[in-house]
Structure 1
């Protein structure tokens, strides 16, 4: 879950890697088909994530991006026609999850934010291929996704400059299986352990400079830490 790749404003690694690989194996498709599905999902779901900037969900809580990306991957493998593709996305975004903060930091339940969303998004494409239809304006409808999931009242059109500006270029890779906010701290510990020779008893004080988001994450994780010492 944590050893993932992510885009600017979106964790999609749990979808764009396993879904294309699994479907390509099932339908006997080649690497080009896999890469095409991955890029399509990154570009469309990545743009949606960038457009939703004023909201209460953060990081992996934004599991609606997993649903959206999974539907895109599954619609491309095998390639559905334009009508079915649109229906797959509409179906996927009809019932997005709303994970709660207290279950998303440190506890085991964080993994579920991606697990069920990936399945539901993939299923949406299969349902569309069988003729099921959704609400095509599910994102921008006055009672739709934007209205329910963002504090903005006028969300900008996210799907612009396709083929010109590439969200894929914002891909980042984690070196360690931990939240992105913790990557710098882990690097620091590794450097200290390899480049310094001192005894623990010699340490008198430790000063830590970090980002506010890391402090918030630590605060939310405190209730779960108690179980680690039982």
Structure 2
């Protein structure tokens, strides 16, 4: 019997009370019953829950027994405590591991991925020099210097050019008017207006 069986049992029962649990086992160990296609798995993961159908999950002194579904087919699995090396709670995300019961190849894989091989030193990443940032400065021109004139931008082709307005020719000054004679200057003399005309009677025979 596994010496850590009671501890594994207590952990598993406490996690099952909260919800679904995943157990990690070595399917090659003696006493393990799983589908034939999974018997050579060194790290097999099985989900357990009291809510599975049928509800025949049992956790005893020997280990765990339960009917599970594999690709639509049901199979009665049996896992002794000696084959179980980790427990994970889906609800609380807690993880309990028993390294003494882990398969040798899994331990070696864990050591390789977590440690740097001997004779290999980590090279620090080359320092990257920061690029100088562009700075905007105000340039003041001396009084005797002025910016170059900007060339006029021609109007777009679509805009018609202005039509030149002809300048009128100069008008010659009028000829001098001769001064009026003394008689004309005086004007006509005032004469009495003619009297009214009288009617004439004509005798007709």
TM range (shorter): under 0.3
- TM-score by length of structure 1 reads 0.21
Which structure has the larger Rg over C-alpha atoms?
2
- TM-score by length of structure 2 reads 0.23
Which structure dedicates a bigger proportion of its chain to helix?
1
